[in-house]
Amino acid sequence: MKRVLAWALGLFVAFCVIVVVVARNQPEGPSPSDPTTPSTVVTETTSEVSNASETAAIVIAQNKIKERLKSPGTADFEMFNGEAKDKGNGKYIVRDHVDSQNELGATVRTEYIVELQYTGGDVMDDNSWQVTNLVMN
- Contact predicate 2/79, CB 8 Å: no
DSSP 8-state symbol, 69: S
Residue 103: C-alpha distances to residues 32, 100, 106, 115 (Å)? 64, 10, 8, 26
Q: What is the pLDDT of residue 21?
A: 61
Q: What is the pLDDT of residue 43?
A: 39
Domains of the chain, residue spans: 2-136
- Mean local confidence (pLDDT), 97-108: 96
Check pLDDT > 70 for residue 39.
no
- Mean local confidence (pLDDT), 27-41: 49
In the predicted model, what is the mean pLDDT of the chain? Answer: 81
- Contact predicate 99/108, CB 8 Å: yes
Name the β-bridge partners of 132.
none
Query: Please, which residues have CB within 8 angstroms of residue 112's CB and are 6 or more apart in sequence?
Result: 61, 65, 94, 95, 96, 97, 98, 134, 135, 136, 137
DSSP 8-state symbol, 105: S
Distance CA 41, CA 37 (A): 7
Check pLDDT > 60 for residue 83.
yes
Dihedral sign, Cα of residue 93, residue 49, residue 21, residue 119: negative
User: For a pLDDT cut of 90, what percent of the chain falls above it?
Assistant: 58
